[in-house]
């Protein structure tokens, strides 16, 4: 892992563990550069990443501050451009993520799935449905399609761990960006049964197409979130 990302993860862990006061600015770039034995530019890149993730904000002339809403409640705070996966997202918060496999098979895709993955209808895909638990509580149902010829080697061991980790560490593929649509829905039978939603509870659905850094789609998914467990944050940064 590159230096600035190592530093970013250390600082993020400190934020989540409330080692920094949320009422005062965190240590400045000079102090952090001295602590980590690196350049100010490396620290700036590390902090920029945390700003993009919605954990920090900069106040001109006053320093860099923690976004209080990101650490003052039990909601999982996901920035809309984040593609790290639930397991990695919660790892630094010390929370345990487990999975229950609801469906796992290889099949030929219908037209919509084939079009979204830029493949033909004769290219097999994995169809995966998982119920994800955080500290034993149901949080999200993930319904995912992946080309079996591209994302190889998925098995039950991978599904009970992290698919994204399998992609990056085992397959040595690099994930690029993603395109997401976020919508509010009424709960369906699966939500009521597995997420323990009431019939009138809203459900937050995220439709996503994930791309490798080559621009090739590797994932088409629908994630249905309990309304009381997630918050999605959009961060807009002005660039000169």
Read off the pLDDT of each residue in 146-155 and give the average, rounded to a whole number.
96
Structure tokens at 191: 């939500």
The pLDDT assigned to 81 comes to 46
Collapsed DSSP state (helix, strand, coil) of residue 147: strand
Name the nearest CA neighbour of 138 among 98, 87, 180, 168: 98
Are the beta carbons of 149 and 163 closer than 8 angstroms?
no
Collapsed DSSP state (helix, strand, coil) of residue 141: strand
Segment 183-207, tens digit of pLDDT: 999 999 999 999 999 999 999 999 9
Name the nearest CA neighbour of 159 among 117, 102, 224: 102
Top-confidence residue, 127 or 85? 127
Which of the four pLDDT bands, split at 50, 70 and 90, describes residue 70? low
For residue 217, give the H/E element and its range: strand 217-226
The C-alpha angle with vertex 152 and arms to 169 and 104, in degrees rounded to 5, equals 110
Q: Which long-range contacts (CB under 8 A, 24 or more apart) does 168-172 make?
A: none
Which of the four pLDDT bands, split at 50, 70 and 90, describes residue 240? very low
Report the mean per-residue pLDDT for the chain: 85
Domain 3-70, CATH number (from 3.40.30.10, 3.30.70.270, 2.40.50.140, 1.10.10.10): 1.10.10.10
Top-confidence residue, 61 or 167? 167
The C-alpha angle with vertex 84 and arms to 58 and 87, in degrees rounded to 5, equals 115
User: Taking the domains of the chain in order of start, what are their residue ranges?
Assistant: 3-70, 76-233
Is the per-residue pLDDT at 173 higher than 60? Answer: yes
Distance between CA atoms of residues 128 and 43, nearest Å: 39
Name the nearest CA neighbour of 36 among 65, 66, 3: 3
Structure tokens at 159: 């599904």
Report the top-level CATH class of 76-233: alpha beta
Top-confidence residue, 96 or 224? 224
3-70 and 76-233 share one CATH topology? Answer: no
């Amino acid at each position: 892992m590159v230096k600035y990302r190592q530093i970013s993860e250390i600082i993020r862990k400190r934020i989540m563990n409330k080692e920094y006061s949320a009422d005062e600015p965190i240590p400045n770039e000079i102090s952090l550069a001295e602590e980590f034995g690196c350049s100010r530019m490396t620290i700036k890149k590390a902090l920029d990443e945390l700003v993009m993730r919605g954990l920090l904000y900069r106040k001109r002339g006053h320093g860099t501050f923690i976004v209080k809403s990101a650490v003052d409640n039990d909601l999982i705070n996901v920035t809309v451009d984040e593609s790290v996966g639930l397991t990695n997202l919660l790892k630094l918060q010390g929370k345990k993520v487990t999975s229950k496999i609801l469906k796992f098979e290889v099949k030929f895709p219908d037209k919509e799935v084939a079009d979204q993955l830029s493949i033909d209808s004769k290219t097999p895909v994995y169809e995966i449905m998982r119920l994800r638990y955080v500290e034993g509580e149901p949080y999200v149902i993930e319904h995912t399609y992946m080309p079996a010829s591209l994302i190889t080697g998925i098995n039950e061991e991978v599904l009970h761990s992290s698919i994204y980790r399998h992609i990056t560490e085992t397959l040595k593929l690099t994930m690029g960006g993603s395109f997401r649509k976020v919508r509010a829905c009424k709960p369906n039978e699966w939500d009521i049964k597995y997420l323990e939603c009431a019939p009138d509870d809203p459900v937050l659905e995220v439709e996503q197409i994930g791309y490798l850094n080559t621009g090739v789609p590797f994932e088409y998914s629908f994630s249905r979130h309990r309304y009381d467990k997630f918050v999605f944050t959009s961060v807009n940064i002005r660039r000169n």
